[in-house]
């Protein structure tokens, strides 16, 4: 295992302290229990939006805490759910008196722990609503989920819900926006190589030099099938057919096209994917009115990428265009 670390046992602590120091103007990192919140705390009178999940997906989690996105986040250990006490602390930090939305990616541990965190928040008279993100169209049930997994589309849901909260929408409407975002997007990914969790010290799965995994999960969960390496255009066609088919898109509709790198895929390859997908959508008569390319939801150093398509209307487009300022994604500020 070659990694720029000191000790596998201290990676999380050192990573979070470095993140806190690098972005002290945007976030505060609290260690016991571990959670991240906006610098200066909750915005009074506005809805709080929080999420959480395992570390190893950076910038996911704390990197999306800031103006226009999340109010707080609860990061678990590598590829592990945050604990209920972390979730409660993040909920408290996000509470500005107008309630808190929990945006949960669909993994069994996250669901169970967020349910407990919401119950603890209810005991403190903090109104909490929940939206579960399950945008992965690859498999219906997977290693760690009942139903579809939550993957890269979650970042867009954070963006839309956070924008709605920051403009002053009430809890019911922020929740509606997040649910609409989830219903209107579809994602599928692929992996070319595994990743290595520092505390484990060996690759999380094996792939031959001439193999790729279609529909893989962000923790290395099996996908649709393992196949011989394909050209970029053939990969994109497979991913795009699955996502467009799931959404049942029709000619004339507007969409966001979003290519996400899993950690070790260079931008040049992501742009090749985007080019093919944009051309195919144009041939279908579907209008790509917003675009997003980059490493937004990674899996340590896994080589691979995912493709997300989201149906857009005027409401979601306005929220997508709203300004935000976080460590992982900035626009309009």
The residues that are catalytic are 57, 219
CA distance 312 to 295: 22
The CA distances from residue 38 to 83, 169, 270, 290, in Å, are 20, 19, 31, 27
3-state secondary structure 147-189: CCCCCCCHHHHHHHHHHHHHCCCCHHHHHHHHHHHHHCEEEEE
Calculate the CA 178 to chain-centre distance.
Answer: 13
Residue 137: φ, ψ to 5°: -90, 0
Residue 234: φ, ψ to 5°: -70, -35
What letter would DSSP give residue 203? B
DSSP string, 239-307: HHHHHHHHHT--TT-EEEEEEEE-BS--HHHHHHHHHHHHHHHHHTT-EEEEEEEE-SS--TTB-EEEE
- Any bridge partners for residue 190, and if so which? 214, 305
- Any bridge partners for residue 29, and if so which? 36
DSSP string, 29-90: EEETTEEEEETT---TTS-EEEEEEEESSTTTTGGGBSBTSBSEEEEEEET-PPPHHHHHHH
CA distance 253 to 287: 6
């Amino acid at each position: 295992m070659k990694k720029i670390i000191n000790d596998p046992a201290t990676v999380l602590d050192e990573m979070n302290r470095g993140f806190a120091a690098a972005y002290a103007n945007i976030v505060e990192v609290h260690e016991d229990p571990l959670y991240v919140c906006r610098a200066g705390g909750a915005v009074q009178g506005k809805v709080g939006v929080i999420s959480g999940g395992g570390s190893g997906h950076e910038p996911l989690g704390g990197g999306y805490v800031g103006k226009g996105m999340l109010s707080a986040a609860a990061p678990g250990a590598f590829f592990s759910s945050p604990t209920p006490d972390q979730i409660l602390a993040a909920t408290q930090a996000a509470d500005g008196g107008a309630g808190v939305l929990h945006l949960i990616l669909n993994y069994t541990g996250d669901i169970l722990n967020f349910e407990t965190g919401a119950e603890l928040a209810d005991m403190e008279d903090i109104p909490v609503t929940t939206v579960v993100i399950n945008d992965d169209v690859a498999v219906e049930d997977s290693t760690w989920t009942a139903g579809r997994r939550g993957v890269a589309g979650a970042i867009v849901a954070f963006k839309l819900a956070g924008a709605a909260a920051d403009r002053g929408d009430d809890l019911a409407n922020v929740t509606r926006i997040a649910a609409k975002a989830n219903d209107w997007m579809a994602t599928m990914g692929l992996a070319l190589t595994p990743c290595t969790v520092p505390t484990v010290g060996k690759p999380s799965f094996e792939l031959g030099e001439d193999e790729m995994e279609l529909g893989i999960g962000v923790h290395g969960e099996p996908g649709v099938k393992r196949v011989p390496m394909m050209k970029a255009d053939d990969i994109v066609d497979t991913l795009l057919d699955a996502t467009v088919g799931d959404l049942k898109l029709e000619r004339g509709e507007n969409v966001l096209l979003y290519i996400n790198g899993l950690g070790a895929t260079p931008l040049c390859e992501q742009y090749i994917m985007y080019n093919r997908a944009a051309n195919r959508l144009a041939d279908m008569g579907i209008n790509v009115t917003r675009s997003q390319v980059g490493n937004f939801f990674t899996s340590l150093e896994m080589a691979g990428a995912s493709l997300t398509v989201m149906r857009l209307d005027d409401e979601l487009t306005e929220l997508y265009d709203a300004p935000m300022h976080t460590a992982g994604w900035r626009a309009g500020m």
